[in-house]
Amino acid sequence: MTKKSAGLFSGRTRHLARHHKPSQLSVGTYIKEFNVGEKAAIVQKGNRSNIPHPRYRGKIGTVVERRGSAYVVEVRTFNAIRKLTVPVEHMEKVTTGTKAQ
C-alpha cells in the first residue's frame, strides 16, 4: 500500500484553482509598490514556486520593509506575530474605507 503525500499542496488544489494561466498575469502585478506601514493582503496568484504557505492565504498584514523585489509583511495569527517574505505578485493593497451612513 502506498503512503499519501504530505506536500505543501496536498488537499488544497481547490483553493488554488485559477481561471487563467500563470503566464497570463499582467505586468502591473509585478511592478506594484508598497510603502512601509501600508496594509497588504496575501493572495496566491500565478507561479506556485514562490508563494507563501497556504495557511496565510487571505491574511492582512503590515508592510515592514522591502527585501530585494519582495516585501516583509508582519501578519498576526492568534497571539503570535509572524514575519513573512512575500513576492509582489502575491500581494494586494488593502484600502480602508469609511462606513456610509
**pTM of the full predicted structure?**
0.76
The three cell numbers of residue 21 are: 494561466
Q: Which pLDDT score is estimated for 30?
A: 83
DSSP assignment of the chain, as one string?
Answer: -PPPP--TTTT-TTTS--SS-GGG--GGGTS----TT-EEEE---S-SSSPPPGGGTT-EEEEEEEETTEEEEEEEETTEEEEEEEEGGGEEE---PPPP-
Q: Which pLDDT score is estimated for 100?
A: 57
Q: Which pLDDT score is estimated for 2?
A: 84
> Chain-wide mean pLDDT for the chain?
83
Q: Which CATH number fits domain 35-93: 3.40.1410.10, 2.30.30.70, 1.10.10.10, 1.10.645.10?
A: 2.30.30.70
Q: What is the pLDDT of residues 36-78, one digit of tens each?
A: 999 999 988 776 678 888 889 899 999 999 999 899 999 999 8
